[in-house]
Amino acid sequence: MSHFNWFLRGENLIYIKIQKIQQGDKYLRETVIQEYKPFIIKAISQCMGKYIDVENSEEFSIALSAFNEAIDRYNVENGGDFFEYCKLIIHDRIIDYKRSNKKNSSVYPFSYFDDEIYNAFENKYLVDEKSQLEAVEIKDEILSLKKTLERFQINFDDLVLYSPKHKDSIKLCIKIARIIANNEELFAKLLHSRNIPLKELMTRVDVHQRTVERNRKFIITVTLLLKSNLDVLKGYVENTESGGTSLG
């Protein structure tokens, strides 16, 4: 049975259902969506920081679509946590929606931002001056990243204290993160364990294991950014890779 053993137990029937849906069971898809509406609502509320009125919420429609997307894209054989995967997709789609709305509005609701978190992260990572619109987008993305990192028990203070300091080390960690992000099996295991799959990773990179362990939180953060739709923050990663402004 190999890696299928873990999801064939009764408490993991969701994975069997996903497999059947991907094989074309439309009725089961609707049943699963209805069954997990409370989960979807909770995921939206966590992303928005407030309770969502399902009857009059565009965000709820977006989250339903994201849940469907997660079902279609989830790789059962890799064995990652489906619900963590769902949360990532829902958060990314909600952020896309919020960003799109702000681009079409001249009013920017700054009051709900956590300035302390934003400033701590900005002082470390965002050294260029930003336009008002880009600043709004960055703050939205930072809040989304913060919520994602909480599930991995990582906070911004950790990143400030424990990120690599030298450019070569930063680039090496980004390279490692990209290897994880580009490999479905490694990324699924990262989501499932909320940690770097060291054993599997070490067969794919030529670095000392202590280097990975010492920079674990930074590598996880960059990996999640690379797999996200947080385009502004992701741009800093790509800029650092190409030799531009450093993340460190």
User: Is the pLDDT reported for residue 15 higher than 60?
Assistant: yes
Task: For residues 107-131, give the mean pLDDT.
Answer: 41
Burial of 194 (0-12, 13-18, 19+ CB in 10 A): middle
User: What does the pLDDT read at residue 91?
Assistant: 84
User: What does the pLDDT read at residue 102?
Assistant: 58
Which residue has better confidence, 172 or 128? 172
pLDDT band at 5 (very low <50, low <70, confident <90, very high): very low
Closest CA to 233 of 159, 126, 115: 126
Closest CA to 233 of 106, 109, 112, 146: 146
User: What does the pLDDT read at residue 175?
Assistant: 93
Task: For residues 201-211, give the mean pLDDT.
Answer: 89
User: Is the pLDDT reported for residue 248 higher than 90?
Assistant: no
The SS3 call for residue 110 is helix
pTM tops 0.85, yes or no: no
Domain residue spans of the chain: 2-99, 117-241
Question: CB–CB of 26/17 below 8 Å?
Answer: no
User: What does the pLDDT read at residue 190?
Assistant: 93
User: What does the pLDDT read at residue 56?
Assistant: 65
Mean pLDDT for all residues in the chain: 76
User: What does the pLDDT read at residue 116?
Assistant: 43
pLDDT band at 114 (very low <50, low <70, confident <90, very high): very low
User: Does domain 2-99 match CATH 1.10.1740?
Assistant: yes
Task: For residues 217-233, give the mean pLDDT.
Answer: 88
Could you tell me the sign of the dihedral formed by the alpha carbons of 81, 85, 88, 91, in that order?
negative
> Residue ranges of the alpha helices (H) in the chain?
13-22, 26-35, 37-48, 58-73, 82-103, 115-125, 132-150, 156-162, 167-182, 184-193, 198-201, 209-214, 216-226, 231-241
Q: Which residue type occupies 42?
A: K
User: What does the pLDDT read at residue 201?
Assistant: 92
pLDDT band at 101 (very low <50, low <70, confident <90, very high): low
pLDDT band at 9 (very low <50, low <70, confident <90, very high): very low
Closest CA to 152 of 220, 230, 74, 208: 220
